C-alpha cells in the first residue's frame, strides 16, 4: 500500500492532508486524513491517528488487499483487549472510516502537521528517506 501524492525534498517527505470537510475540528484538535492506495489500486481515505498503534483498515477492504477470512497468514480474533496481537502489520475491523494510520508507521519519522499548507511533513529518523 502506498500513500498518494508524496513530495520528497531532500530528506523531507510531504504528504497531502485532506482538509475542509475531511478534517473534523473540535476546539484545538483536528482529524486529518490522507489518501492510501490499496493493492487493488483503489484509493481510500485514512485518518492519521496518533492514538492508535497500528494500521487499521475497515474489514470491507480486506479482499482488495488480497486477503480473506480463513486464508493463509490471516488470524481471526474476536474481543478486546485480551486478544490483542503483538506487532500486527494490519488489523481489519469494522470502523466508521476506511482506515487509520497509527504510530507503528508514524513513529519511524519525526512528523508535523501543516494544516494551513494541507500537508503532513515527515522526516525519516536517521535523516535518510524511508522506503
Predicted model pTM: 0.70
Predicted local confidence at residue 106, as pLDDT: 84
Q: Break the chain into its structural domains and give their ranges.
A: 2-67+87-124
Predicted local confidence at residue 99, as pLDDT: 92
Mean pLDDT of the chain: 75
CATH code of the region 2-67+87-124? 2.40.70.10
Nearest Cα to Cα of residue 11 among 131, 122, 104, 113:
122
Whole-angstrom distance, CA of residue 76 vs CA of residue 104: 20
Is the pLDDT score of 123 beyond 70? yes
pLDDT tens digits along 14-72: 788 875 454 555 566 677 888 888 888 899 999 888 888 888 899 999 888 888 877 77
Amino acid at each position: 500500500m502506498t500513500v498518494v501524492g508524496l513530495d520528497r525534498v531532500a530528506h523531507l517527505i510531504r504528504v497531502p492532508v485532506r482538509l475542509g470537510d475531511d478534517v473534523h475540528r473540535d476546539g484545538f484538535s483536528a482529524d486529518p486524513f490522507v489518501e492510501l492506495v490499496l493493492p487493488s489500486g483503489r484509493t481510500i481515505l485514512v485518518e492519521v491517528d496518533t492514538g492508535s498503534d497500528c494500521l487499521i483498515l475497515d474489514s470491507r477492504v480486506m479482499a482488495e488487499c488480497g486477503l480473506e477470512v480463513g486464508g493463509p497468514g490471516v488470524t481471526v480474533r474476536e474481543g478486546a483487549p485480551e486478544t490483542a496481537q503483538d506487532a500486527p502489520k494490519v488489523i481489519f475491523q469494522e470502523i466508521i472510516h476506511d482506515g487509520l494510520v497509527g504510530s507503528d508507521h508514524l513513529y519511524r519519522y519525526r512528523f508535523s502537521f501543516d494544516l494551513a499548507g494541507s500537508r503532513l511533513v515527515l522526516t525519516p529518523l536517521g535523516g535518510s528517506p524511508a522506503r
